[in-house]
Structure 1
Amino acid sequence: MSNADFDRVAHLLGEGVPPSRIHTDQPSPARIYDYWLGGKNNYPVDRDVAETILAMAPTTRASIRENRDFLLRAVSFLAHRGIDQFLDIGCGLPFSPNVHEVAQRVIPQARVTYVDSDPIVRAHAQALMQSGDMEHIAVLHADARDPEAILQHPDTRRVLDFGKPVGVLLVALLHFVQDYDNPAQIISRLMREVPAGSYLVISHGTADFNPSGALEATESYRATSSYVPRTGAAIESLFLGMPLEEPGLVPIAQWPDPSVPARAEEFGLYAGVARKA
């Protein structure tokens, strides 16, 4: 997806979405993403906006799906390395397979705390997970910009044991955090809480793959929405010096296999996984 496409998408996703109440007659970013993924938790207003965006930026759906695939690859990767608990911040609407389903295929007792600031996500997640094993799953309505509230929430403490390694998932989240909200500080607080052997998983939008007009597009994002594409160097710095697993920070389709075609301009995302030493 080009910078101009991302600008138009971010603008549309930022329009008319209520901050604290659920309305089925106004579009929701979470439900629009659900539609692009092929889910059923969306309404005509969401589908109308989603199709309008696709008309302007046809690669959007492919980018969203590739990001989802990366999330599941990363969770499986960590589970096979013995990580049995995950903190998924900015989780979006439940969409099978979910993080806990992928992790529990490898480690049946794996635990997940899901976090999202959209009340729509909490409402849907609680309804859809009622039949699940709530001993191993929690869903929080919280803002990523307040990591203390996430870490100290009773449900987080109920499900996760911070004496053991945790997989911290910040997938397609940090490009919605403005510089003045200090994403590095947010990550630092999260990673201070987890012990050595924990992992940090990030995917993040970038302008690197379409350099022409990147500065103009970035200024436009800031004027119309909270979307902040960052350079590869800036994204790598968010790992706070923790060593990256191979193949490092790469176009999202190439993690963990750099031999896969990058399709970098189409997807417009970097991805990486780091281990806390």
Structure 2
Amino acid sequence: MQNTHEVAQAVAPESKIIYVDNDPLVLTHARALLFNTTDEGVTTYIDSDFHNPEQIISDARNTLNFTQPITVMFMGVLGHARTYDDMTRIVRTVMDAVPSGSHLVLCDGTTDSQAYVTLCEEYAKSGGVPYHPRTQDEIHAAFDGFELVEPGFVPITAWRPEPTQARVSRPIAAYGGVARKP
């Protein structure tokens, strides 16, 4: 499996990718393994908590051109937002900062499976940063005001599977989509 910057720079060598995290282990990994795959591209990271989106935007302006469309990816992380209001504030703050034509890619765990909800509760008891599964409606609301790309807001297993890949017979407790900012 390839990292985001490897995929992006293989398609568009000039791509600039910024990862954001504040976990010391993840940052050690980033320092060791995140490097450009092309001479034209940039791959870097910001040491920040996503609960501080204003700082992330400020730091990202050092690398990204905020007059050109930007893709923002929240992949399985917004369950770590303390509340639903925090989740929507984070997404809105970041997406308000990027120009028209930018994209939001977002997926997260849902409350559709009691087994998954219980797993998240047990994980929190272990001392890990709590993960709060949201309802499908709550995750879908993060896309309000944006134009969803086909196939829309769906279980992540239904998002553009390879033609030769067998479809999963039942959805998993994770939904998401891709949307364009008008």
- Bin for the TM-score computed over the shorter chain: 0.7 to 0.9
**Who is 2:141 aligned against?**
237
SS in 2 for 1:202: strand
**Who is 1:20 aligned against?**
none
The answer on 1:169 being equivalent to 2:76 is no
Alpha-carbon distance change, 110 to 218 in structure 1, aligned in 2, over 3 angstroms: same
Deviation readout 1:217-249 (Å, 9 max, x if unpaired): 499469735211111111100113312111111
SS in 2 for 1:182: helix
Residues 145 and 181 in structure 1, CA contact (< 8 A), matched pair in contact too: no
The answer on 1:145 being equivalent to 2:87 is no
Deviation at 1:158, TM superposition (A): 2.8
The answer on 1:197 being equivalent to 2:101 is yes
Amino acid at match of 1:245: V
Alpha-carbon distance change, 218 to 129 in structure 1, aligned in 2, over 3 angstroms: closer
Consecutive unaligned residues of structure 2, counting only runs of 5 or more, are none
**C-alpha distance in 2, partners of 1:158/1:213?**
39
Amino acid at match of 1:138: T
**C-alpha distance in 1, partners of 2:106/2:148?**
11
- The two structures, once aligned, show a CA RMSD in angstroms of 2.8
1:107-186 correspondence runs (5 A): 107-129=12-34, 136-153=42-59, 156-179=60-83, 182-186=86-90
**C-alpha distance in 2, partners of 1:219/1:103?**
32
TM-score of the superposed pair, with normalisation by structure 2: 0.83
Alpha-carbon distance change, 157 to 107 in structure 1, aligned in 2, over 3 angstroms: same
Amino acid at match of 2:15: A
**Who is 1:254 aligned against?**
158
Alpha-carbon distance change, 211 to 241 in structure 1, aligned in 2, over 3 angstroms: farther
Larger strand percent = 2
Deviation at 1:180, TM superposition (A): 6.3
Alpha-carbon distance change, 113 to 131 in structure 1, aligned in 2, over 3 angstroms: closer
Amino acid at match of 2:86: N
1:260-271 correspondence runs (5 A): 260-264=167-171, 267-271=172-176
**C-alpha distance in 2, partners of 1:239/1:221?**
29
Residues 247 and 257 in structure 1, CA contact (< 8 A), matched pair in contact too: no
Deviating more after overlay: 218-227 vs 105-114: 218-227
Alpha-carbon distance change, 237 to 119 in structure 1, aligned in 2, over 3 angstroms: same
What is the percent sequence identity of the aligned residues? 37
Deviation readout 1:97-132 (Å, 9 max, x if unpaired): 111110111111111011111021122211223576
Larger helix percent = 1
Residues 254 and 262 in structure 1, CA contact (< 8 A), matched pair in contact too: no
Consecutive unaligned residues of structure 1, counting only runs of 5 or more, are 1-95
Residues 174 and 183 in structure 1, CA contact (< 8 A), matched pair in contact too: yes
Amino acid at match of 1:141: D
Amino acid at match of 1:146: N
